[in-house]
Amino acid sequence: MGQGKSQKETPDLSAFENVDFSEAEHRSVVIIGTGPAGLTAALYAGRANLDPLVYQGPEPGGQLITTTDVENYPGFPDGILGPEMMQRFEAQAQRFGAELRWGLITAVDFSQRPFRLIADEQTPVLADTVIIATGASAKYLGLPNEQRLLGRGVSACATCDGAFFRGEEVAIVGGGDTAAEEALFLTRFATKVYLIHRRDELRASKIMQERVFNNDKIEMIWNTVVTDVLGEEEVEGVRLKNRVTGEESTLPVKGFFVAIGHKPNTEIFRGWLDMDEVGYIRALPNSSYTNVPGVFAGGDARDHVYRQAVTAAGTGCMAAIDAERWLAERAHEAAEHAEEKAVQS
């Protein structure tokens, strides 16, 4: 996990003041999120007969829903559309008893067990364990046509989509290590990579800057912002504006990559869970355990490095296995305690 100071704050429990939990639904496993991590966790928890309840969140299926062709997930040699892949994930999880429910977990209370959750600001739910798979959202520029052309030339993941632009010219916007790394990655496929930055120097580390400047396929465009993405059915270019001269121009490219960072969807867990300075959940080494026993984390909510469907699915698997073992240990302890009481009486 990333380094930096933990974002530990005082939990906000105001949402629980007028919510009655006396007759709340009580589940062994509640999974928050339905991207590759959440649905893989649901599959494993379902096969373990844990009857998991999965809240789908604001974007059921996660970021892959906005992706067209997925060619780098094992088992699909001809590729598969992102939405179709997530439908298959859902069907497989449901086959083994996972219950997928529309809704958004809006508040959590991890101070006691069973944990208290509130769905859609009003519905109480109790959970013996919670698996967090809320993912992360790419930051975009907010351009008029950016979201319209998402998946049709606009992307926030060069590793995911770079191979689609073999032999083409592409542009990428950003100035940090991520932008530099993705620009270099794109040179494996594109004939030309334009790295657009709003300032006259990069924020990337010195070694990354040197690699960018020494790559003949990368051309820097300094002091420039992108004002729109051009194209009807797919990206045909970007509109640029020089911040120093005010001059506007059009850059014809087939791909436009945004590399200005990601924001983990972990806001409701602040104060409860250890996070890095950005908000990624800190998991204990070689596990999905968080600092709260019984709460586990998988996928992009804890991963700021790889951010791939296959790695998210892997940590979702880990979270379900960890939750299953944790529940088994608690059941064993409870049985031993009951046996001791019986002997004493």
Using CA of residue 11, residue 13, residue 14, residue 15, what is the dihedral sign?
A: positive
Task: Identify residue 178 by its one-letter amino acid code.
Answer: T
Residue 93 phi, psi (nearest 5): -65, -40
The CA distance from 314 to 288, in Å, is 10
CA-CA-CA-CA torsion for 66, 67, 72, 75, nearest 10 degrees?
Answer: 80
Of 109, 160, 276, 303, which is the active-site residue? Answer: 160
The CA distance from 60 to 339, in Å, is 44
Distance of CA 274 to the CA centre of its chain: 17
Residues 6 or more apart whose CB falls under 8 angstroms from that of 206 comprise none
* Tokens standing for residue 80: 């598969």
Residue 269 phi, psi (nearest 5): -100, 0
Of 12, 78, 128, 157, which is the active-site residue? Answer: 157
Residues 6 or more apart whose CB falls under 8 angstroms from that of 275 comprise 6, 7, 8, 264, 266, 269, 281, 282
β strands within 235-281, DSSP E: 237-242, 248-251, 255-258, 262-264
Catalytic residue list contains 160: yes
Of 161, 276, 303, 322, which is the active-site residue? Answer: 161
Antiparallel, parallel or unpaired: β 255-258 and 169-173 = parallel
Catalytic residue list contains 317: no
Catalytic residue positions?
A: 157, 160-161
